């Protein structure tokens, strides 16, 4: 991992362009940039240009520095202190920037923006996991050819987890599982018997009986699962992020739906062990997502990331357990975790790393180790449009699944290539959507997907 000099800014400010500039992630980056003299936004792209200007003004950017640009000549005429506000990614090529931070969340627009930036000699910090899950492998290869950096962005869970895993790997730790918590905790109040998951609440007094992990770990987890079955906890976004992580680390999913156990933080080392050791995993070296269970007064995992390792020397890990580290009851496993992801507040680290050190988060290039696909969750008729929407970018009619690439059908359609396309045939419930089921896939996305999956070598980390 490349160290970053955090004691002083670069000699010249790093200029970045930002797509999806009106979004929540973008706002955190723009807010943090105001406190960093070595970093400067020069081009902001969003369909809502007026809203982008209003947000930047609210954050404290001088209104006179925000200039709407609708033509390449407008961007070329920007002064050193001005920020170009554009509404279409096609204009990016003419913009004055060193690094593109891609945060549209739109597979087609984000892919086009990233490819344009790479081909014009700019680095790309990819926030849009929807893009990365389809085109990331090919875009990383193109960036290598052009001598620029393509990397997921720190502050989002995929990059944080890749970096945390590689730290453990560098130290020679024997990794059993890596993963993250879901975005929102299950917060149980024993006084009321109610459990809250963001804006969902249900009565589940039976949780009080299983707050402690029993000797039979799967049985305890099953009881918790039953107690909170009225709350939907899985999301397409989680599957998408783990697809990105799998491709950058070489670690596949254990099961296609991921386990999503309801777990208290102190239990992670017991839960994420092999079934032969009393845990839930059928194999070692996998990615997964869990849901945090906590009491109101307990700290959140905050959508953080974890690595579970085999401990090795018993005395060393007994010492670490005494210091409060999460070690399994058997002493055979330990969980190392970061209880946060700070969104755009951390992303400047990736921007600086790309521009100043020409370094990506991962030490190895991504390969297609996992495929984020979709199974029909209902009967889907020919002519159905697979709309994508909502905060977590769910695709209508499809349940997200994360497939080990070695087991996936060759013609399976990645979920975010299928998004916004029209079905060419009827698809029965439970069927995977295949490429030939799509009548109008985006040609650029399809070409990059095929390019990224076309090399059968290096399908699994050695």
Give the DSSP H or E segment for 40.
strand 39-45
User: Rounded to whole angstroms, what are the CA distances from 393 to 68, 103, 111, 237?
Assistant: 29, 13, 16, 7
* Residues 454, 446: Cα–Cα separation, whole Å: 12
Average pLDDT over residues 248-271: 97
Q: Do the first three CATH levels of 14-156+345-357 and 370-453 match, i.e. the same topology?
A: no
DSSP assigned state of 277: G
Per the model's pLDDT, the better-predicted residue between 312 and 390 turns out to be 312
* Residues 266, 328: Cα–Cα separation, whole Å: 9
Q: Is the pLDDT of residue 456 over 80?
A: no
DSSP assigned state of 302: T
Q: What is the CATH number of domain 14-156+345-357?
A: 3.40.50.720
What is the b/e burial string over 313-345, where b = at least 16 CB atoms within 10 angstroms of the residue's CB?
Answer: eeeebeeebeeeebbbeeebbbbbbbebbbbbb
* Residues 25, 18: Cα–Cα separation, whole Å: 10
pLDDT confidence of residue 11: 66
Residue 461 pLDDT level (bands cut at 50, 70, 90): very low
pLDDT confidence of residue 392: 82
pLDDT confidence of residue 457: 37
* Residues 323, 127: Cα–Cα separation, whole Å: 35
pLDDT confidence of residue 9: 53
pLDDT confidence of residue 100: 98
Owner of token pair 């386990």: 259
Q: Is the pLDDT of residue 4 over 80?
A: no
Q: List, in sequence order, every residue forming a beta bridge with 353; answer none if it has no partner.
A: none
Q: Is the pLDDT of residue 83 over 70?
A: yes
Please provide the average confidence, as pLDDT, over all residues in the chain.
94
Average pLDDT over residues 275-283: 96
- Structure tokens, 312: 């090795």
- Structure tokens, 410: 């060759």
pLDDT above 70 covers a percentage of the chain that reads 96
Report which of 87, 192, 216, 100 is spatially closest to residue 151, judged by C-alpha positions: 100
Q: List, in sequence order, every residue forming a beta bridge with 324; answer none if it has no partner.
A: none
Contact between 287 and 245 (Cβ < 8 Å): yes
Report which of 129, 69, 60 is spatially closest to residue 97, judged by C-alpha positions: 69
* Residue ranges of domains in the chain: 14-156+345-357, 159-340, 370-453
- Structure tokens, 20: 């999806």
Report which of 408, 284, 393, 341 is spatially closest to residue 162, judged by C-alpha positions: 341
For domain 370-453, give its CATH number from 3.30.310, 3.90.1210, 2.60.40, 3.40.50: 3.90.1210
* Residues 52, 31: Cα–Cα separation, whole Å: 13
Average pLDDT over residues 25-35: 98
User: Rounded to whole angstroms, what are the CA distances from 171 to 91, 168, 321, 353, 365?
Assistant: 45, 5, 19, 22, 20
Average pLDDT over residues 224-238: 94
Q: pTM here?
A: 0.94
* Residue 129 phi, psi (nearest 5): -65, -25
- Structure tokens, 445: 């996305």
* Residues 56, 58: Cα–Cα separation, whole Å: 5
pLDDT confidence of residue 5: 53
Q: For residue 444, how many other CB atoms are within 10 A of its CB? A: 14
Owner of token pair 């007064």: 297
């Amino acid at each position: 991992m490349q160290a970053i000099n955090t004691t002083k800014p670069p000699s010249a400010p790093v200029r970045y362009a930002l797509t999806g500039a009106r979004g929540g992630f973008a706002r955190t980056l723009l807010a943090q940039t105001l406190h960093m003299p070595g970093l400067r936004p020069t081009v902001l792209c969003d369909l809502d240009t007026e809203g982008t200007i209003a947000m930047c003004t609210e954050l404290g950017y001088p209104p006179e520095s925000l200039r709407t640009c609708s033509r390449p000549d407008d961007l070329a005429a920007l002064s050193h202190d001005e920020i170009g506000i554009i509404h279409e990614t096609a204009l990016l090529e003419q913009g004055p920037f060193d690094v593109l931070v891609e945060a549209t969340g739109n597979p087609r627009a984000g892919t086009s923006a990233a490819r344009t930036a790479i081909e014009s000699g700019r680095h790309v910090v990819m926030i849009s996991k929807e893009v990365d899950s389809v085109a990331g492998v090919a875009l990383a290869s193109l960036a290598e050819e052009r001598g620029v950096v393509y990397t997921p962005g720190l502050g989002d869970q995929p990059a944080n987890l890749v970096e945390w895993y590689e730290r453990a790997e560098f130290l020679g730790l024997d990794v059993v599982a890596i993963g993250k918590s879901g975005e929102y905790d299950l917060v149980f109040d024993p006084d009321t018997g109610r459990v809250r998951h963001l804006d969902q609440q249900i009565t589940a007094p039976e949780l009080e009986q299983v707050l402690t992990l029993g000797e039979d770990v799967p049985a305890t987890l099953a009881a918790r699962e039953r107690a909170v079955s009225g709350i939907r906890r899985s999301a397409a976004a989680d599957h998408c992020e783990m697809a990105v992580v799998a491709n950058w680390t070489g670690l596949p999913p254990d099961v296609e739906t991921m386990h999503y156990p309801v777990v208290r933080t102190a239990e992670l080392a017991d839960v994420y062990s092999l079934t032969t050791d009393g845990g839930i995993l059928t194999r070692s070296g996998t990615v997964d997502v869990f849901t945090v269970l906590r009491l109101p007064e307990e700290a959140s995992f905050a959508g953080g990331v974890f690595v579970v390792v085999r401990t090795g020397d018993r005395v060393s890990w007994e010492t670490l357990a005494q210091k409060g580290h999460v070690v399994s009851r058997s002493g055979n496993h330990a969980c190392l975790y970061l209880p946060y992801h700070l969104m755009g507040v951390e992303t400047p680290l990736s921007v600086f790393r790309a521009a100043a050190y020409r370094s990506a988060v991962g030490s190895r290039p991504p390969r297609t180790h996992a495929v984020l696909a979709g199974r029909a969750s209902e009967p889907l008729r020919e002519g159905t449009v697979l709309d994508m929407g909502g905060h977590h970018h769910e695709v209508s009619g499809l349940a997200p699944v994360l497939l080990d690439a070695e087991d996936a059908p060759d013609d399976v359609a990645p979920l975010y290539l299928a998004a916004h396309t029209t079905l060419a045939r009827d698809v029965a419930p439970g069927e995977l959507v295949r490429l030939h089921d799509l009548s109008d896939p985006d040609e650029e996305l399809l070409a990059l997907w095929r390019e990224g999956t076309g090399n059968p070598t290096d399908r699994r980390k050695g």
